[in-house]
Amino acid sequence: MTSVPRICILGGGFGGLYTALRLHQLIWEPGQKPEITLIDRQTNFVFTPLLYELITGEMQSWEIAPPFAELLKGTDIRFVQGSVKQVAADADLSQQVQKSVTLEDGTQIPYDRLVLALGCETPSDLVPGTTENAIPFRSLDDAYRLDAKLRVLEASAIERIRIAIVGAGYTGVEVACKLADRIKERGRIRLIQSRDTILPNAKEFNRNAAIKALEQRGIWVDLETNVSEITADSIGLTYKDKTDIIPVEIVMWTVGNQVSPAINHFGLPLNAQGKITVSDTLQVTDNPEIFALGDAAAMLNTDGQIIPTTAQVAFQQSDFVAWNVWSSLTDRPLLPFRYTDLGEMMILGDDNAVLSSFGIQFDGPLAYLTRRLVYLYRLPTLEHQLKVGFNWLTQPLVKLLS
């Protein structure tokens, strides 16, 4: 190892960005302070749980997706924008080969400790026509694309705006409620689900609140229905072996979670779902200098269950990864990660949300406010929290005066 340890973090989402910020806060002995490099293909971090608020314009993109450059200002974390192509995990010092990361543009970044937090993507190849004709909902670009399409339709003379949302998991249900509140009586929204219930993994109270919210908004739910194809203006729906072609203006695709494809080229151990296998200290199997967390890491909880792919998990893991990277560089014992399920919140339209946490359950405007405050506290950096919080406080006043 060179005199200054080099830590390279791949992916600036909930796992990667929060690990970098935490590492920066830890206390390092003089001469031990590492060089921390954070790499992401995007210029902005995205706080996905608040992405829905862009549909209704309740929040602005600077609040939900601040640039990395702004978040890392005042720290000595170096941000590199680039797409990760390859990881060389085997050093051969006799041939001067260092452990390094290679970006698509050929840049090589050597490391002593590597943190993998490249997350997941929404697959677009499950049904013919999805890539060309359906909009996923995961990134800022997806939210902009949806908004642009809605603006054109809202300004047009068509009487009804027909939207099909594939998948009645958390994203599908939350997008459906926000869309219904945006387009109101002009909207004809249907939610398509292959299983016999919406939100199969949700807490029962939350699922019931979601069913009520969907009913109140007149959102049609097609259960036990599969999608056969998607075209520019239609969707094929198969129910009990009978397929109907339904005309639609917009199709949203929210089904599936596929590990970032770059991970397949790293030569690291993967499980059947293509996720990187890690020990309880979040070190990659047989690669103690590499740590992995978040959606792309496969880890079992103490009860033997796979830990879910949520921001809550990635956020909790980031604390442990930062601590364990620090410990591994300062000869201290590493800590095993234990996931604590803090509960579940969902946004169900304008001014309505639902919350279940440690036996406390409620929905409506109070849940909406609580969710907002929890997420304000979870936003990265105190400076960004203060900016967003100040904006929330002053916005009603500005609206009143304008």
**Which stretches of the chain bind ligand FAD, using CB under 6 A?**
11-16, 39-42, 48-49, 51, 83-84, 117-119, 137-138, 171, 260, 262, 294-296, 309-312, 314
Structure-block tokens of residue 29: 């002995």
β-bridge mates for residue 247, sequence order? 234
Q: Shortest gap between Cβ of 120 and ligand FAD (angstroms)?
A: 6
Helix axes 170-183 and 140-155, enclosed angle (nearest 10):
30
DSSP state string for 238-294: EETTEEEEEE-SEEEE----EE-GGGGGS---B-TTSPEEB-TTSEETTEEEEEE-G
Cα 49 to chain centroid, rounded: 7
CB closer to ligand FAD, 119 vs 187: 119
For 19, 209, 303, 318, 387, the CA distances from 339, given in Å and listed in that order, are 16, 26, 11, 12, 30
For 158, 210, 269, 333, 396, the CA distances from 292, given in Å and listed in that order, are 49, 33, 11, 18, 42
Q: Shortest gap between Cβ of 47 and ligand FAD (angstroms)?
A: 8
Q: Shortest gap between Cβ of 239 and ligand FAD (angstroms)?
A: 27
CB closer to ligand FAD, 14 vs 326: 14
Q: Shortest gap between Cβ of 20 and ligand FAD (angstroms)?
A: 11
CB closer to ligand FAD, 115 vs 161: 115
Q: Shortest gap between Cβ of 246 and ligand FAD (angstroms)?
A: 24
CB closer to ligand FAD, 23 vs 118: 118
Q: Shortest gap between Cβ of 289 and ligand FAD (angstroms)?
A: 20
Q: Which residue is nearest to ligand FAD (CB)?
A: 13
Q: Shortest gap between Cβ of 171 and ligand FAD (angstroms)?
A: 5
Q: Are 277 and 269 in contact (CB under 8 A)?
A: yes
CB closer to ligand FAD, 310 vs 324: 310
Instruction: Name the 3-class secondary structure at 71.
Output: helix
Neighbouring residues of 273: CB distance < 8 A, sequence distance ≥ 6: 259, 298
CB closer to ligand FAD, 11 vs 234: 11
Structure-block tokens of residue 282: 């979040």
CA atoms of 201 and 135, how far apart (whole Å):
23
Instruction: Identify which of 269, 322, 275, 328 has the alpha carbon closest to the alpha carbon of residue 299.
Output: 275
CB closer to ligand FAD, 237 vs 313: 313
Instruction: Identify which of 245, 240, 248, 243 has the alpha carbon closest to the alpha carbon of residue 224.
Output: 240
Q: Are 102 and 86 in contact (CB under 8 A)?
A: yes
CB closer to ligand FAD, 39 vs 298: 39
Instruction: Identify which of 356, 23, 306 has the alpha carbon closest to the alpha carbon of residue 199.
Output: 356
The half-sphere exposure of 200 on its side-chain side, counting CA atoms within 13 A, is: 8
Q: Shortest gap between Cβ of 64 and ligand FAD (angstroms)?
A: 10
Q: Shortest gap between Cβ of 237 and ligand FAD (angstroms)?
A: 23
Q: Shortest gap between Cβ of 363 and ligand FAD (angstroms)?
A: 15
CB closer to ligand FAD, 51 vs 255: 51
Structure-block tokens of residue 128: 């013919």
CB closer to ligand FAD, 378 vs 387: 378
Give, for 110, the enclosing helix (H) or strand (E). strand 108-110
